[in-house]
Structure 1
Amino acid sequence: MPLKPGETKTINFTLHPDDLAIFDKNMNWTVEPGFFEVLVGSSSKDIKLKKRFEVVAVDK
C-alpha cells in the first residue's frame, strides 16, 4: 500500500542468518562475522534510513 505524501509508517521485519549467507571458497553457504547495513529509501540515491548491526557468531 503506497504512502501518501508526508505520511510515515513504522514497519518491523526479522533477518535470519540465511538472509546474510554467502558462498565461501568451497561453495558452501556461510555467514561471516562482521558489520552489515540495512538501508531504506525510495531508491539507492534516496536513502531515508540506515542502520548498522554486527554479526558476532552464528550457531551451526
Structure 2
Amino acid sequence: MKANQSIAYNFSFKKGDEVIYGGDMNATVIEEFENGLVRIALANFGEISVLKKTLEFKK
C-alpha cells in the first residue's frame, strides 16, 4: 500500500463519495450496506456491488 492511500474499510461511506476501485478506476458511492458491500457507479460501466475493503477514498 502506498503511504498516501486510505484504508477505506475502516470508515463509512455516504452517497456521493468519490472513491477508487481496483486501484485505478474512479467510482461514486451509491449506497453502503451493513454486510460489508458498497454499491458504486463506474463511468462507462454502470452500477456494481463490491466489497468495502476493495475501495480507497479518492484524494
TM-score of the superposed pair, with normalisation by structure 2 = 0.23
- Bigger relative contact order, structure 1 or 2 (CA pairs below 8 A, ≥6 apart): 2
- Say which one has the larger Rg: 1
Which TM-score applies when normalising by structure 1?
0.23
